[in-house]
Amino acid sequence: MSGTMSDSNFFSIAIGIGTKNRKGEWLEVYYPQPIFRPDQDIVTNLGLIADYRGGNTFVEVDDDFLEAATNILTEGKQHHVIRALIASKQPRVVTFIQSDEVLASTPEAYLKLHLLSHRFVTPNSINLEGIFGLLPNVAWTNRGAVDPAELFDLQLQARAAGETLEVSSVDKFPKMTNYVVPKGVRIAHSARVRLGAYIGEGTTVMHEGFVNFNAGTLGEGMIEGRLSQGVTVGNGSDLGGSASIPGTLSGGGTVVISIGEDCLISANAGCGIPLGDRCVVEAGLYITPGALIQVLDEKRNPVEVVKARELSGRSDMMFIRNSQSGQVECRINTKQVSLNEELHAHN
């Protein structure tokens, strides 16, 4: 068996606790301490007690496995996690991801979402193909994850006991903060950040800000607008209130949008092309890839008219609408965008 697990670049391994429906199907899995690029000894030893034979798979485990695992995962947090799981009657699972391939199970999908939110991997750097078919629709309640088909009985039981079963959402993705709270962040409305979001240290997500899975900030940032799946924002950038960056899940777009460092996408603005560093889009202006842009030189003399997509990835651009002609102009940005240091000190 050791020959099937000899890859020194083993992707990830994690022990988790989850919820199943009455049919025995996984609804969700919580991995308190996933291990990214684990030491080979850990893979081999956990594999032996789980009868793991290689590849990407999961194994539901019992108290005997967890007791044995405490002798393998001896570091403080890992050891503490295992001891806590031994006391639980919920389903427990160990998930092995030997290589970064197409997703094959719900436990595997949840592990990759955890890796993103724990900042082990960055958006667009891992294979998430097949995730929607593997994440069941779940009623997220104050009693945990519930299969929507089983919700009525639980609501009725709660009412009969003089209680209310609170259903916060019905969705494939849960709140990130119910699974992972990264170091050094502020999230004003936790329901607006999905598990699988990558929230960089020093980032503030305000009440109306939204960050989807496989999207996020790569450093400090201010998010008051919406980051769709696949979108990344560089260190020191600010996404203003109701501003929006499109992803690739809807609308037919295929270009993955990234916003560079020290950029400002102003309130009610948006950008459908990748930007380099130190770029500004004025308030209320949405730059679509096919928009005609008048490019100006340093003295604001017209140079050429191009489609916005031809400016993709360039730095030091300021997009502004000429108040007289209505033409969208691209000027050279000479101002430094900076975040409020006191606001972003998240100690």
Written as tens digits, the pLDDT of the chain (347 aa) is 333 444 558 999 999 999 999 999 999 999 999 999 999 999 999 999 999 999 999 999 999 999 999 999 987 788 889 999 998 999 999 999 999 999 999 999 999 999 999 999 999 999 999 999 999 999 999 999 999 999 999 999 999 999 999 999 999 999 999 999 999 999 999 999 999 999 999 999 999 999 999 999 999 999 999 999 999 999 999 999 999 999 877 554 678 999 999 999 999 999 999 999 999 999 999 999 999 999 999 999 999 999 999 999 999 999 999 999 999 999 999 876 666 565 556 66
Domain interval for residue 319: 176-332
Residue 23 shares a structural domain with residue 118: yes
Cβ proximity of 259 and 275 under 8 Å = yes
Residue 77: the pLDDT is 86
Q: Mark whether 257 and 324 lie in a shared domain.
A: yes
Residue 11 lies in a domain: yes
Q: How many domains does the chain have?
A: 3
Q: Are 202 and 220 in contact (CB under 8 A)?
A: yes
Same domain, yes or no, for 306 and 160? no
Residue 337 lies in a domain: no
In this predicted structure, what is the pLDDT of residue 75?
78
| Separation of alpha carbons 237 and 36, rounded Å | 28
Active site residues: 224
CA neighbor of 13 nearest in space, from 68, 78, 91: 78
**22 occurs within a structural domain:** yes
Q: Is the dihedral of CA 297, 303, 308, 312 positive or negative?
A: negative
